[in-house]
Structure 1
Amino acid sequence: MRKRKTSRTAHLLNSIFLLTVLFLSSCQNNKTDADKRDKPDTSWESLTLREKIGQVVCLGYDKNQIMEAGNGSVDTFFMKYPVGAIFIANWVLGNYTTPDSLSQLYIKTVLELSKASKTPLLFSEDFETGMGNAMPNYTLLTAEMGLGATDSPLYASWFGDIIASELRSIGMNWILNPVADLNINPFNHLVNVRSVGDNPEKAARMLSEQVKAMQNQKLAATAKHFPGDGTDYINQHFNTSQMKLGYKEWQESYGKVFQKLIDDGIMAIMAGHISFPAYQKETLNGEYLPATLSPELLTGLLKGTFGFKGVIVSDALNMAGISGYYENQLETEMACFKAGTDILLWPSLEFIDTLEARILRKEISEERLNDAVSRVWNMKKKLGLFDDGYEVVKPVSEDLLVGHRSKATEIIQKSMTLVDNRNNLLPLDTLTSKKMLLCVVSDGDQQAAFTSLKEALQAKGFEVDIRSNLSFFSHGHELNNMAATYDKFIFAFYSNPANPWGSLDLRGEGALTVWSLNKLPHNKVISIAFGNPYENLGYMSRVWCRINCYSADKLSQKILVDGLTGNYEFTGVLPVEVP
């Protein structure tokens, strides 16, 4: 009996010993795998000088340019100009096909370029609201400010996950998004609905979840536009913008957002054509340089003080905000690189030839190039581009797309923000609000953009007339008759960054329409901002019913109508302060 018991004990001890060995071995293997992933990849050191220079170039895709420079061959192009990244703009590729076929052309283009390149390529685009606007078979998302209105980290994660899986399905592995700017100045017409809002804590919280979801699917994310846009009203496309905050105030706002994203491992940060007088000491011809040209801001502040180890990419080099500081575009590109930029967005091919010549002549340090290449190379490593079996194109199933659309619909619904509903003007019904006038307030005639809104209202049983603007000068004498004819007036304000280009403030016929709006009975008016929220917050303060809907796409319009008629409760939280 004792012998049997001793045998069982010995067997148990052996089992425990074996399990312990296996566990420790597994831990060691996991540690080794983690070490391999985290250890910097130095294989880039075997690249030729010209190949290294190619890694710091993100070429704007132009088929004609590639064929001309490559003597009619894509392979020859890459032999001459071994670029490491290509931005394939949907508005360029879309010229060669229809929206329904655009995704297939993306895949074909990505595979062709990948095959011709000796090193793995980064493929990038913006797609700030997903791919649905350009390709109807993919998912349409709300603007970033709509996401901010949900105040939900879960939805932020969904947002990033949807974008990542769909972009990977057409071969993109790097997105120039999200916008990490804060909308401090209501008159800034470039940031606006592209940002989460004006609260740095919310921005840091929401963007962090969005970035994690993107990068978990091997899509490199890019926070833009360092040191931060949104405090002045200058559009960087037209002129250099300026960070207006003091350094301490900046640290507690914009700096907090960027530092959070850096701490969480964001792979890239885009430098803006934005100066920062409160921090900068150096000037050129009496002017503070934009970040894209400033060693103080890129090498000193971002890489030094903030300890950013990822890739700094410039904003587009064709913008006026970086122009005029040096004698020509080529010298501007050279200065941008020397300032600490690791990837230049849309430089000339001449940049490659010139940088090579200047490094060989010892006019530019090769250490600067090596720093940039090592950063780019290690971002590619983190994305798995060097792994055996890496999928350049990672297909997405129709079932997954159906799930994406369901999540996008929920996000849009939760973003709808009821600013005012005095005396319970909503929900609308056909007994008290049968006949409506839908007036689109915009620069020019934009009625066609709101066909879905009109049709959705009609499907609910309302009679709807639609028109563009209602200038007081032209129609002021008709307002009393209109008030007697229509039960409700819906004023749809259509104003978004770059649509149209220029200021978002009211002007012309749109401004004169606000005059008419505020002369109508306030209990009959519903004011809806499709995009820029500030017109609704500032000019329509006496109107009984105001709603912020942060996008003007067809899906948002249909979801809005369900809210107007009481199918759901508005839960969106205003993401900006009332000016």
Structure 2
Amino acid sequence: MTMDLRKAPFALDDGGVDWVESTLEIMTVEQKVGQVLCVYLHSTDMAEWTAWLAEREIEPGAMMLTARPRLDARTHVAELQEWSSIPLLIAGNLESGAVNFLSDTEAFANPMQVAATGDVLHAQRLAEHCARVANEVGITWAFAPVIDLAMNPQNPITNTRTFGSDPAVVAEFGAVYIEALESRGIATSPKHFPGDGVDDRDQHLATTSNDLDADSWWATFGEVYRRTIAAGTRTIMVGHIRQPALSRAARPGIADAELLPASLAPELVTGVLREQLGFNGLIVTDNSAMTGFTTVMARGEALAAALNAGVDMILGNVDVEEDFALLLAAVRDGRISGDRIDDAVRRVLAVKSSIGLPAGTDRADRDLPDVEQERAWRDEVAARAVTLVKDTQRLLPLDPARHRRVLVCVIGDEPTFYDPSGPFAPQFVDGLRARGFEVEQRTVPHVTTAVEASRLHERFDVFIYFAVHRFIGNANTSRVSWAPWQGFDAPRHVVTLPTALVSIADPYLLQDLPMVRTAINCYTPTPSTVDAAIAVLVGERPALGRSPVDPFAGHWDAAL
């Protein structure tokens, strides 16, 4: 596919094209190699960090923020832009807001919470919130939205990071998010092509596979990517995920051992994404330090193979200095041709030109956060998304006159890399107490006995599992763990003591608690979500949400 910078998604005018070509023309080979690197920003000392880079002649094309306070992030980004001779793309995981990389903020809403409302207005608001934070800090590249399809409840990556399992819903909500950010001059990068959510493993730890047949892939993930591209996304992130059916269609007779993840597979990147789907924008890998990438071939071979497959930018490094040297050597000895490195750099520069970076990198004059308005938006999306999955025992609403003595047993509620917020159990317990309930709190796992578990009904009127069980990353499973040796803290008391599950995050917990007859899913750990869950529990509000996935995880008994 021939690159045309005047066509979507760049749509550059003559001045924009001239800036790209004139900048490329005077770049050294070292500068070109630097432009195809997106380096994680772990340092908090920009003078030291930039001096280290300059000493090695490394000038990255992009940097990705890691966790730090909001004010520090803004200061660090400004210092980096002042240092770099070519404006940097500054990336952030703007999936649910900025909670992943700003340590003093909270999530806005996970994509699944947004989808549970059934109203794309909330996708628009999520994007607007993300744009405002991005403008304040200086972020110009959103590694979002996640447009994977949550087909497999056992997948440890997708969960509430997706808009659900329905391709039409994911395409619609993803497109609204993309259009909103792109229209504000912030490049999006939907992920993770060719699509996560089918396998049950984590590509941080292993190369995974999307094993749909070709027709099924085109009818699901293929349609989502068509809509994504039509929405105007400037970039797409490819994962360390194989798609055997598409690879075999392009390379008849290919051996199983030769099947490559998309980040290294030319038939997927160039063949499917570029030629068949017609994507003209920039293609970036997922973090190249993941095991799903590093175990396929030797590092020097893999970095060159990714560029030759059609990737334009490498995200993440095992060792920044070594990766730069390996890529530089590959360009100099011809394993990466001059035309290929130029095309990759051309797309990197085209993204920068198309979002206005040559004219200036300070975006503080644009729409900035509005705390009160966005708090109201959080409250509304949380209230609209609460889903009453089942209440077959007709327990709700809870009433202190009938259910005064409450045992709350907390599952999870620990911070994770992707969402370090919380804890939320204190807010939940205080909310119940404020409404007249007497509450005792315990935490799973906790050591108890079969005798005590069988007699809980003598001390309590209702039992609530309050779960903030969320995606942690770097794990091949995400399930509830009960106390050894026989899990006496599991819900073995449900026959004698009415029991409810309130899941603030994971929508699939009924696979581990199928005997619980009342269950509410809420999808995002925020104070707004906790308040909304309590309001539904006690009958102050109806449950209006619709589950974007099968909350029973395919288990018929979980629906009883």
Counterpart in the other structure of 1:343: 313
Matches within 5 A, 1:62-461: 62-63=42-43, 72=51, 76-77=54-55, 80-90=57-67, 94=68, 102-132=69-99, 135=102, 138=105, 140-281=107-248, 286-327=257-298, 329-347=299-317, 348-387=320-359, 390-394=361-365, 400-422=370-392, 424-442=394-412, 449-461=424-436
Q: What is the percent sequence identity of the aligned residues?
A: 27
| Conserved 8 A contact 1:443-1:509 | no
| TM-aligned CA distance change 1:492 to 1:139, over 3 Å | closer
| Conserved 8 A contact 2:94-2:145 | no
TM-fit CA distance, 1:81:
1.1
> For the residues of structure 1 that align with 2:242 and 2:230, how far apart are their CA atoms?
24
> For the residues of structure 1 that align with 2:89 and 2:285, how far apart are their CA atoms?
15
> For the residues of structure 2 that align with 1:112 and 1:529, how far apart are their CA atoms?
42
| TM-aligned CA distance change 1:547 to 1:510, over 3 Å | farther
1:466 to 426, 441, 462: 441
Counterpart in the other structure of 1:30: none
> For the residues of structure 1 that align with 2:276 and 2:428, how far apart are their CA atoms?
50
Counterpart in the other structure of 1:27: none
* 1:543 equivalenced with 2:526 (yes/no): no
TM-fit CA distance, 1:465:
0.6
> For the residues of structure 2 that align with 1:178 and 1:120, how far apart are their CA atoms?
24
| TM-aligned CA distance change 1:371 to 1:454, over 3 Å | same
> For the residues of structure 1 that align with 2:45 and 2:333, how far apart are their CA atoms?
29
* 1:528 equivalenced with 2:508 (yes/no): no
> For the residues of structure 2 that align with 1:534 and 1:565, how far apart are their CA atoms?
23
| TM-aligned CA distance change 1:476 to 1:553, over 3 Å | farther
* 1:45 equivalenced with 2:24 (yes/no): yes
| Conserved 8 A contact 1:129-1:144 | yes
Root mean square deviation, CA, Å: 2.9
TM-fit CA distance, 1:350:
3.0
| Conserved 8 A contact 1:223-1:270 | yes
> For the residues of structure 2 that align with 1:161 and 1:421, how far apart are their CA atoms?
36
| Residues 465-487 of structure 1: CA deviation (Å, up to 9, x unaligned) | 1101377x843212342112111
> For the residues of structure 2 that align with 1:157 and 1:209, how far apart are their CA atoms?
6
| Conserved 8 A contact 2:202-2:208 | yes
| TM-aligned CA distance change 1:65 to 1:369, over 3 Å | farther
| Conserved 8 A contact 1:418-1:547 | yes
Structure 1 SS opposite 2:334:
coil
> For the residues of structure 1 that align with 2:437 and 2:426, how far apart are their CA atoms?
14
- Which one-letter code corresponds to 1:303 in the other structure? R
| Residues 313-338 of structure 1: CA deviation (Å, up to 9, x unaligned) | 101011100122223x2332222222
| TM-aligned CA distance change 1:522 to 1:294, over 3 Å | farther
| TM-aligned CA distance change 1:188 to 1:42, over 3 Å | same
Counterpart in the other structure of 1:15: none
TM-fit CA distance, 1:111:
0.9
Counterpart in the other structure of 1:17: none
- Which one-letter code corresponds to 1:288 in the other structure? L
**Higher relative contact order, chain-length normalized (CA < 8 Å, sep 6+):** 2
Counterpart in the other structure of 1:23: none
> For the residues of structure 2 that align with 1:142 and 1:525, how far apart are their CA atoms?
27
- Which one-letter code corresponds to 2:43 in the other structure? K
| Residues 279-298 of structure 1: CA deviation (Å, up to 9, x unaligned) | 11455882411111111111
> For the residues of structure 1 that align with 2:286 and 2:533, how far apart are their CA atoms?
35
- Which one-letter code corresponds to 1:265 in the other structure? G
1:488 to 462, 467, 485: 462
> For the residues of structure 2 that align with 1:393 and 1:161, how far apart are their CA atoms?
15
Unmatched runs of 5 consecutive residues or more in structure 2: 1-10, 417-421, 555-560
- Which one-letter code corresponds to 1:103 in the other structure? R
| TM-aligned CA distance change 1:116 to 1:539, over 3 Å | closer
Structure 1 SS opposite 2:440:
strand
| TM-aligned CA distance change 1:106 to 1:330, over 3 Å | same
* 1:61 equivalenced with 2:17 (yes/no): no
TM-fit CA distance, 1:444:
9.1
TM-fit CA distance, 1:520:
2.1
1:560 to 533, 540, 553: 533
* 1:477 equivalenced with 2:451 (yes/no): yes
Count of residues in Structure 1 that have an aligned counterpart in Structure 2: 529
TM-fit CA distance, 1:259:
1.0
| Residues 389-429 of structure 1: CA deviation (Å, up to 9, x unaligned) | 5534456656x221111111111111111111236422222
> For the residues of structure 1 that align with 2:476 and 2:216, how far apart are their CA atoms?
28
| TM-aligned CA distance change 1:81 to 1:535, over 3 Å | same
Query: Which protein is bigger by CA-based radius of gyration?
Result: 1
| Conserved 8 A contact 1:425-1:545 | yes
| Conserved 8 A contact 1:141-1:408 | yes
More helix by share: 1
| Residues 212-259 of structure 1: CA deviation (Å, up to 9, x unaligned) | 111122211111100001111011011000011001100000111111
| Residues 554-577 of structure 1: CA deviation (Å, up to 9, x unaligned) | 332222112212222111101112
Structure 2 SS opposite 1:86:
strand
| TM-aligned CA distance change 1:475 to 1:502, over 3 Å | farther
| TM-aligned CA distance change 1:572 to 1:104, over 3 Å | same
TM-fit CA distance, 1:38:
8.4
| Conserved 8 A contact 1:221-1:266 | yes
> For the residues of structure 2 that align with 1:513 and 1:380, how far apart are their CA atoms?
55
* 1:509 equivalenced with 2:479 (yes/no): no
> For the residues of structure 2 that align with 1:574 and 1:479, how far apart are their CA atoms?
32
> For the residues of structure 2 that align with 1:395 and 1:511, how far apart are their CA atoms?
57
> For the residues of structure 1 that align with 2:473 and 2:288, how far apart are their CA atoms?
21
The alignment's TM-score, normalised by the length of structure 1, stands at: 0.84
Unmatched runs of 5 consecutive residues or more in structure 1: 1-32, 95-101
Compare 376-385 and 349-358 and name the one that shifted more: 349-358
- Which one-letter code corresponds to 1:81 in the other structure? I
| Conserved 8 A contact 2:87-2:358 | yes
| TM-aligned CA distance change 1:313 to 1:136, over 3 Å | closer
